[in-house]
Chain A
Amino acid sequence: MSENQNPPAGTSKDVTAAPEAGTAVGPADRFPDPGVPEHKKRLTDTDPHAAKRAERTVTILFVASILGTIGSIVAYVMVPPDGTTSGVRLSTLLLGLGLTVSLLGIGIAGIHWAKALMGDREFVQERHTLATQGEDRETAIKDLNEGLEDSGVVGRRGVLKGAFFGALALFPIAIAVPLIGSVGGDWNISQFKHTMWKRGMRLAIDPSGRPIKASDVTVGSVFHVVPETTEAYRETHDWITEKSKAVVLMVRLNPEDLRTDQSPEGETWSHEGIVAYSKICTHVGCPVALYEQQTHHLLCPCHQSTFDIADSAKVVFGPANRRLPQLPITVDDEGYLVAQDDFAEPIGPSFWERLK
């Protein structure tokens, strides 16, 4: 019963302090451990033919691996990718299959070798208590105490210790400040509140950049809109960042279907049923791209926030809390759609200072 391994809780608090405490419950409460089961011989232990067969199988598997390696080299030389998608796929497939056989051959051979031919007797080894025992422990404690004693700071030299820990705690700041200071660029988070839309800026089709005439927008059609800019600007990083905020989805509804939009008293933000809303979801900022003509619902494909275009783009379902901000639009003298101004509120997902 000394191998009684799981004494009930409460009878033994610490296996290191009282290794035999588990037996306190008394032998009658526990069944005896039957011991390690008897070793059963495998077929390969008793039958030399089986052993020979296993040996042959392992050898064949290693040979298969070698053939796989050769096969992949052959594939590399004979089937180069010709640039087309199918050519690339074929090359990938053949190279990969060669590699697969080469690897699996070794793997399966190794396992089979271990299982069928290597010794399969179980051994029992003792575990040692992890906590340091007896003299070792005492020596360690003594050494530690002596070391602390020699340092001369235990219980005294408080100012020195304070200075030491203070210096240690502070020095990373000398590295962290320049790092963190620079890593965020100009830290001008007020940029979240503005986009590049300005009064009179024409609405253009994404990605061609062609400005849109109001007369070209038929009822029910959807336009993915960006501000009109120069071709050269559209090849800069600045553009990608600005576009991330400025993209707009424009729809023309039957004017009688358009129940409300976001224009305040005395202003008109839409033009003859044409409404333009920020395409950036107010949830986490995915482009809201799925428009359903019948219901006038706009669905975000990322998390299914659904907005009603006919009703000032308010949230009808999903995890978004706020309606999509509306871009106030009108037409210019030449009949092109233009913005009246920037969005009246920050676009995209919420942030702490959004209303400040």
Chain B
Amino acid sequence: MAEQQRPTGLGKAADYLDQRTSIGLAVKEFARKVFPDHWSFMLGEIALFSFVVLIASGFFLTMFFEPSMALVRYEGEHPASMHGQLMSAAFHSTVDMSFEVRGGLLMRQIHHWAALIFVASIVVHMFRVFFTGAFRKPREINWLVGAVMLVLALAAGFTGYSLPDDVLSGNGLRIIDGVVKSIPVIGSFTSFLVFGGEFPGEHIVPRLFTLHIFVIPGLLIALIALHLFLMVLQKHTQYPGGGRTDKNVVGYPAMPVYVAKMTGNFFIVAGVLALMGATMSINNVWNYGPYDPSPVSAGTQPDWYILFVDGALRLMPGPGWEWVIGGYTLSMNLLIPALIVPGILFTLLFGWPFLEAKVTGDHREHHVLDRPRNRPVRTAMGVALLVAFVVCALAATNDLIATHFSLDIFAITWVLRVLLFVGPVFAFWLTKRVCLGLQRKDRELVLHGHESGRIVRFANGEYVEVHTPLDEEERWLRVNYDSPAPLEITPLTDARGVRRKGYRSDRRWQKVSRFFYEDRVSPVTPAELEAAHSHGQHDTIEAKEPTGAGSVAGQRRRR
């Protein structure tokens, strides 16, 4: 319709479509829709685009992969190490597609790297969302959708890792079997359910294949659609700055800037993954050989996102942690690291937006992001979690650390056991202090301005350093935030001495709230700035600054 006055090819096509679909309405709504700009908003895009690469390269692989555990003999001459070996059809087809199919190995390697980057970008994206408070109302649901997608991404990674049926992935499955068996009451049955009988059986590869190429990606696609729909509906968050409020959105229009940038970003992500697939070999299954329950190679690690569970398994001391209760065996040495630790992690992850809203007493919509320093406890919690994750991941590489640095593996394990408890607490304390320090620095800057490095001597011999005040934009960034105070609760009894219900629960929440907000630095108010200025007034007037009254007011005596 809009193109009627210029009957170009595009205009005609648009008109044809519009006559039949009223697509004009969608164009009107979305073509010039504004999206805020920041490099960190790209992280989620990277996850999305690596998922697209996964689908494309995965499609290629399904053309040649045979999801069967039927035993066959490898008759091919190359690689020589595999010649004449008995192996599953799954492993056979994996070697085949690497050696016989042109571009097969490239696609396998791109697929594996894309999977690693996919999970990594999801995790980094979630940290961005977490540290900037983008999960607050109205985005709690989208946070949950994202967290579910993280779980699905891990499941996708794991099911894919196990498909080639090589020694490495077979031992990975065996570890899963061991963990599953430790589940109280239903563990043994769950193991049978997973493997269709005893480990390894002959069903697990086709089952994982169905999950890997149908169920999990299907769910992921549906959730990605929901995730993006909610993002567009709620409009993207924006970083604080001049003119950016909770009631507007400042940025560039979807067409043409975002279309071009996103398309460009997709091709860059795909290009980098292609480069990785071309130059960095990964998972050379023919070096490991087909799965055999007896051999195992030392110094092998799972894909990075499983490292923390594997590390937790390694750190947990065994003796004394297997309890027999009424004749039934309860393996706490497995349950704690493999189920309880990830359980705590994901409970925190899923529950955080609701916990924070509760202790903040906050029901408002937030569209302007937090600077991480302005929420010291949240930021510190995030860093503490990260430290715990890193300690566990390091623990999963304790054998490599031992061999590369010639250290005693038992000593490393003990150090990491201690660090797992001390590290996060220290990181929490340190990060919180750093945040509060940065907030104080912000106050200091707003109140007193930047040091100019210019020393002025007065007639009476006194020296002062001239401070230049912040310009409006810079000041706005440092004063425009919320510093919530701990919750205030209604007293136990009202004016007539009548006790009320729910007081104890309120008091408990107040305690949690104090943990969050007891230490706080309030933003500078205009009144405070005024006071700070008048404080330095008598010096600066005498200094007779040539830069004008405005900046004179911003100076103060340097002691």
Q: Chain A residues in contact with chain B, CB under 8 A?
A: 3, 5-10, 12-16, 19, 28-31, 33-37, 76, 80-81, 83-85, 88-89, 91-93, 95-97, 99-115, 118-127, 129-130, 180, 183-187, 189, 191-192, 206-207, 224, 226, 235-237, 240-241, 243-245, 247, 279, 283-287, 289-290, 301-305, 315, 317-322, 348-356
Contacts and interface: CB of A to CB of B under 8 A. Distances in A.
Contact of B196 (A19, A183, A304): A183
Contacts of A118: 256-257, 260
Contact of B102 (A37, A95, A191): A95
Interface stretch (B10-18, B318-326, B548-556): B318-326
Interface residues of B, number: 140
Contacts of B270: 103, 107
Contact of A279 (B294, B364, B479): B294
B201 A10 contact: no
A286 B296 contact: yes
B365 A104 contact: no
13 contacts: A9-B361, A13-B364, A30-B526, A107-B267, A109-B264, A111-B268, A124-B250, A243-B293, A283-B334, A304-B398, A304-B409, A318-B314, A318-B318
Contact of B277 (A96, A129, A283): A96
A330 B109 CA distance: 50
B314 A352 contact: no
A226 B178 CA distance: 21
A283 B333 contact: yes
Contacts of B191: 189, 351
B103 interface: yes
A184 B204 CA distance: 11
B459 interface: no
B197 A92 contact: no
Contacts, number: 392
B551 to A, nearest CB: 17
A109 B233 CA distance: 30
Contacts of B217: none
Contact of B265 (A7, A111, A279, A353): A111
Interface stretch (B145-153, B181-189, B345-353, B380-388): B181-189
Q: Does more than half of chain A's interface fall in helix, strand or loop, or is it mixed?
A: loop
Contacts of A119: 252-253, 256-257
Given A31-B476, A33-B243, A241-B199, A120 B297 contact: no
Contacts of B334: 283-284, 319, 349-350
Contacts of B525: 28-31
A37 to B, nearest CB: 5
Nearest to B207: A183
A124 B102 contact: no
Contacts of B410: 317
B493 to A, nearest CB: 22
Contacts of A301: 296-300, 399
Contact of A6 (B246, B248, B330, B475): B246
Given A118-B257, A185-B197, A349-B331, A321 B483 contact: no
Given A303-B314, A321-B331, A350-B322, A127 B367 contact: yes
B242 A37 contact: yes
Given A93-B278, A240-B293, A13 B363 contact: yes
A307 B192 CA distance: 29
A16 B365 contact: yes
Contacts of A37: 241-243, 473
Nearest to A111: B264
A185 B207 CA distance: 13
Contacts of A303: 310, 313-314
B175 interface: yes
Max chain A CB contacts within 10 Å: which of B100, B179, B292, B320? B292
User: Closest 6 interchain pairs by CB?
Assistant: A96-B278, A110-B264, A284-B178, A107-B267, A36-B243, A104-B271
B481 interface: yes
Interface in B261-280: 261, 263-272, 274-275, 277-279
A304 B245 contact: no
A99 B106 contact: yes
